[in-house]
Structure 1
Amino acid sequence: MSGMRTVERWGIFELPVAGPGVEAVFTDGARHFTAAAFAGAGGGHLVRFMPDVEGEWRYSAGEGAGAFTCGPPSDGNHGPVLAVGGRHFAYADGRPFHPMTTTVGDAGTATLRALAVSPFNRVRLPASSALPLDRLAEQIAGLRRLGIEAEVDLTGRDIAATVSRLAAYRNVWWRAPRDPDAQTAILEHDYAHHLISVHGGPDTDFGAPWLTHAGVRLEETRGVAALTEQLGKPVVVDDCGAEGDAPAPERSLPARDLVARIWEGTCQGGYVTHAESYGPRPWSAEGGRLTGEAADRIAFLRHVLESAPPGLTHNPRYYDASTLETPDGYVLQYLGPHRYPYRRFELAEGSWRAEVIDTWRMTVSAPRALSGGRAEVQLPADPYCAIRIRRAPGG
């Protein structure tokens, strides 16, 4: 029996085995993981395994046994994404992860080129169960090379074969059927314990302890905060509508409306998915290239979020404007369609600066100085603005 002898942490160790019924057991001394064989694209059968700690690993498969060394992760490899703190996501190495998701029907070569220059770090792949598993695995691998997470829809698929083949990819999330037996089968074959959810409306039962987050269909994204509080787990709005010109009303939103829904849900403490549905071969059905106006605005939002301190949490005290805050006083407040003349805030002692963000024009005003206590921020008479308040340097 032969195979790779070294692999990076959260990389893929691949092992040829004798047949389809073989299971390989991997151990780092204290823990044991079992991975099942699958048919390789070039013939024969393989086992794939993702080691999660550095050092020596040993394995046994059938009548063979061996060992390999797991080394440090390469640049850009932060491990699989985990649900943390009941509301957030982070990579296994602790780096925060804010999903900027798009739904795309096919992650072929043209789509991967478009995603490489897009703001999206996660995709939903509502791939037909007729898509060959070899091709699906190639798409997952291509997304991994770009550092993009991939939600795999297991509806209608052979769960044992699909999960056994894809569990070694660190960028996989599972979209499970609602059938509890199917969910049990996913857990049985996924030694890596990837994120898993089901998809449905806000009345869907997301409460099972093995469901790591909620994948919800929700047009009114102001409802995210209440759902997060109710479930005690992160909420990803899988579908809030699509920018496009399709006959269905929720697939023909103006880009401005979709961007507003995404900002609203984000500032409610959720994670909202982009979709695009223009023409006879729309992005969210067939992939290819992005043609709408929303993606650039989502890139702007991603920049705003990534420049914020970690730990952003929704503050329900601002009932009339969706607001994220951190314990040290950072504020990001989205005003939506409202044309408020000003907003008032209670700030801790010290010096602060406020900026008005135009979420559609993608502009940020010059900083305005504020002092601790009751502070007022004057606003332009424009809709779809946000306010960002940060401590002034030295404040």
Structure 2
Amino acid sequence: MLTPLVTLGQVLDAPGGRALLERHLPEAVLDQPGLRVLLIGAFLRVAPGLRDDEAARELFWNEIDKVMAPILLHEHAPAVTPAAPDPSAPRATAAWTLVGEPSRWEVLEIALQGPAAGNPFVDVELSAEFRCGERTWTVGGFYDGDGVHRLRALAEEEGTWRFVTTSNSPALDGIKGEVVVDPAAPGAHGPVRVDGFHFAYADGTRYRPWGTTAYAWNHQDEQTQTTTLETLAGSPFTKLRMCLFPKHFIYNSGEPERFPFVRKDDGSFDHTRFDTGFFARLDEQVRRLGALGVQADLILFHPYDRWDFADLGPAVDDRVVRYVVRRLSGYANVWFSLANEHDLIAGKSTADWDRIGELVTAEDPHGHPLSIHNFSQHFDHTRPWITHASIQRDEPYRTAENTSAWRERWGKPVVIDECGYEGDLEYDWGNISGQEMIRRFWEGAVRGGYVGHGETYWNAEEQLWWSKGGRLTGTSPRRIGFLEEIVAASPTGVLEPLPSDFDLPWAGVQDQYLVSYHGFGRPRERHVLLPPGRWHVDVLDTWECTIDRLPGTYETFVLVPLPSKPYQAVRLVAA
């Protein structure tokens, strides 16, 4: 199926679309303005001929594809070959400056005043080799408007850095220089790296990805962005999923002020020129997240689109990826996600995703975390360019319980970025309770993984956190903070799955720190056989965020009294 995400309004507006829908759907729904934003699939349950007949549904979707394909899929632009250098032009004449005073784990940025004629976004190719001691990094440059070309590296070492440029523009070719990188500022830990089935900053400090989603917060007005950042500052979240391209979906159908591409007078986009104002704002958004200790998990492509950004074609896709990665890989707090729901993006094959993933890896000399997210079909996360599995729930209720199996299957960290959202929408993905959100977080944590948050409570302004950011009103964030305290208290700062009871998972650090989680269960007591040694025993109420320690210490065996309530956990701490 090519078009599972088309809305009623899109089909009605397409040539032949109304006639198609009049044959299949109740006429009463076709002219109700409030229904235009709903996905066509939502109407199948009110059309008995489609609801009850699989063959009729398949025929219906084939007809939808024929109507929508000319609109959604276009002839793709060819690749643009950069201009050939002029052998007679003088080399290395561009003036360069160091932007700021870089310290370790910050951006090391060189600005060069180079050619502005023609279209430098596609005419000029620039790179540089940076060297500090025995280490080298090859960094791609990008054009930032007004004749300014930039090189950004992540300063992974303190000391003297030397660089030499390579370019098809003689003025930018062969420039040499050196800069001094100061020691790391307090609290600077570097980029996040994979550490077994978990994560750590480059300096070894433990990192735990308790993430949330606000897909289009960065496409909102400045006040909404500021409010979002203020909310994050008071939250437990250490990662934010956000989209590079604007998103068109329910509760998020506004027109952004700026786009990644320059917009022409006729309303179309020039896919050979980037809007440097848009990207300057993205730079600032990433910096502001970094100041809060939040990783910017940037989603490069997604299917929720009315501007044709989901079907740019390989040449333009690669141009976008190259520009974005070169521009952002100098920041320590960046993650790259190839897609939200890759299997809903028409026109991109597995080979396309492999090509894009390998391009990100080639253009990012600092190895930021890189993933791809699914709708219903998991990608093969054993691919070498994928650092960790990014997962959407498999079924309405059970997903986090699969974490251990996924770790074994792919041999990589498991981050369930989309387990469902705390909220009250009519859709099953957007109406779980805060209690259920917390249960899913704990079920994933005691199996050695990480679960992500989102919030979809309706309000009259349609300012839903999951789409636009703003304020959080749900009940789960504070309890996620309590889970962070429990995991952080582990001697290793993480929970690893441990030998478990037949009905109850245990996790932690063998012989030092063990946690079990009862979930829906509400026992009044639990017999626990203890590992060798003496142990403190704690009863954790994961909803009330309380810790009740049993008096004394125990060895061999303990009968733990419990409050006959759900969402309880037991913690053993070596005495």
- So what's the TM-score if we normalise by structure 2? 0.65
Structure 1 position 40, deviation (Å): 2.6
* Deviations 1:76-135, CA, capped at 9 Å, x for gaps: 1111111012x1111111111111110113152111111011111111113425453332
Q: Are 1:275 and 2:454 counterparts?
A: yes
Whole-angstrom distance in 1 between the partners of 2:532 and 2:502: 24
* Deviations 1:323-376, CA, capped at 9 Å, x for gaps: 212033311111001012332333244331111111111112133434221333
Structure 2 contact 357–386 (Cα < 8 Å) conserved = no
Specify the structure having the higher radius of gyration (Cα). Answer: 2
Q: Are 1:144 and 2:290 counterparts?
A: yes
Structure 2 contact 98–179 (Cα < 8 Å) conserved = no
Give the AA of the match of 2:373. Answer: H
2:357 corresponds to: 183
Which 10-residue stretch deviates more, 73-82 or 120-129? 120-129
Structure 1 contact 5–67 (Cα < 8 Å) conserved = no
2:102 corresponds to: 7
* Deviations 1:237-274, CA, capped at 9 Å, x for gaps: 01100001112112011111111111111111110000
Structure 1 position 316, deviation (Å): 4.6
* Deviations 1:160-214, CA, capped at 9 Å, x for gaps: 1100100001011110245111112111211111111111257431110221100
Structure 2 contact 445–495 (Cα < 8 Å) conserved = no
1:301 corresponds to: 483
Q: Structure 1 226/319 Cα, relative in aligned 2: closer, same or farther at 3 Å?
A: farther
Structure 1 position 236, deviation (Å): 0.2
Whole-angstrom distance in 2 between the partners of 1:41 and 1:328: 59
Structure 1 contact 322–333 (Cα < 8 Å) conserved = yes
Q: Are 1:47 and 2:209 counterparts?
A: no
1:331 corresponds to: 514
1:75 corresponds to: 186
- SS of residue paired to 1:371: coil
Whole-angstrom distance in 1 between the partners of 2:145 and 2:186: 28
Whole-angstrom distance in 2 between the partners of 1:224 and 1:42: 49
Whole-angstrom distance in 1 between the partners of 2:361 and 2:151: 17
1:101 corresponds to: 211
1:250 corresponds to: 429
Which 10-residue stretch deviates more, 238-247 or 210-219? 210-219
Equivalent runs, 1:1-395 vs 2, <5 Å: 1-4=96-99, 6-17=101-112, 18-19=114-115, 20-40=124-144, 44-61=148-165, 62-85=173-196, 87-105=197-215, 106-107=217-218, 108-129=225-246, 130=259, 132-155=278-301, 156=310, 158-177=320-339, 179-200=353-374, 201=376, 203-218=378-393, 219-279=398-458, 280-310=462-492, 311-392=494-575
Which 10-residue stretch deviates more, 164-173 or 367-376? 367-376
- SS of residue paired to 2:98: coil
- SS of residue paired to 2:323: helix
Structure 2 contact 532–556 (Cα < 8 Å) conserved = yes
Which 10-residue stretch deviates more, 11-20 or 269-278? 11-20
- SS of residue paired to 1:154: strand
Give the AA of the match of 2:480. Answer: I
Whole-angstrom distance in 2 between the partners of 1:202 and 1:96: 31
Give the AA of the match of 2:188. Answer: N
Whole-angstrom distance in 2 between the partners of 1:118 and 1:198: 26
Q: CA RMSD in A?
A: 1.9
Whole-angstrom distance in 1 between the partners of 2:239 and 2:179: 31
Structure with the bigger percentage of helix: 2
- Could you list the runs of 5+ residues in structure 1 that have no partner in the other structure? none
Give the AA of the match of 2:194. Answer: A
Whole-angstrom distance in 2 between the partners of 1:9 and 1:212: 24
Give the AA of the match of 1:364. Answer: I
Q: Structure 1 12/258 Cα, relative in aligned 2: closer, same or farther at 3 Å?
A: same
Q: Structure 1 319/63 Cα, relative in aligned 2: closer, same or farther at 3 Å?
A: same
- SS of residue paired to 2:138: strand
- SS of residue paired to 2:466: helix
- Could you list the runs of 5+ residues in structure 2 that have no partner in the other structure? 1-95, 116-123, 166-172, 219-224, 247-258, 261-277, 302-309, 311-316, 340-349
Whole-angstrom distance in 1 between the partners of 2:538 and 2:146: 57
- So what's the TM-score if we normalise by structure 1? 0.93
Give the AA of the match of 1:91. Answer: Y
Whole-angstrom distance in 2 between the partners of 1:72 and 1:300: 34
Give the AA of the match of 1:314. Answer: P
Which 10-residue stretch deviates more, 106-115 or 13-22? 13-22
Whole-angstrom distance in 2 between the partners of 1:78 and 1:253: 35
Whole-angstrom distance in 1 between the partners of 2:145 and 2:209: 31
* Deviations 1:265-300, CA, capped at 9 Å, x for gaps: 111111000000112221010001111111111111
Structure 2 contact 212–239 (Cα < 8 Å) conserved = yes
* Deviations 1:6-27, CA, capped at 9 Å, x for gaps: 5211111111122542212111
Q: Tell me the number of residue pairs that the alignment of Structure 1 and Structure 2 aligns.
A: 391
Structure 1 contact 351–369 (Cα < 8 Å) conserved = no
Percent identity over paired residues: 33
Structure 1 contact 35–48 (Cα < 8 Å) conserved = yes
Q: Structure 1 245/42 Cα, relative in aligned 2: closer, same or farther at 3 Å?
A: farther
Whole-angstrom distance in 2 between the partners of 1:352 and 1:297: 26
Structure 1 position 46, deviation (Å): 1.2
Whole-angstrom distance in 2 between the partners of 1:260 and 1:228: 20
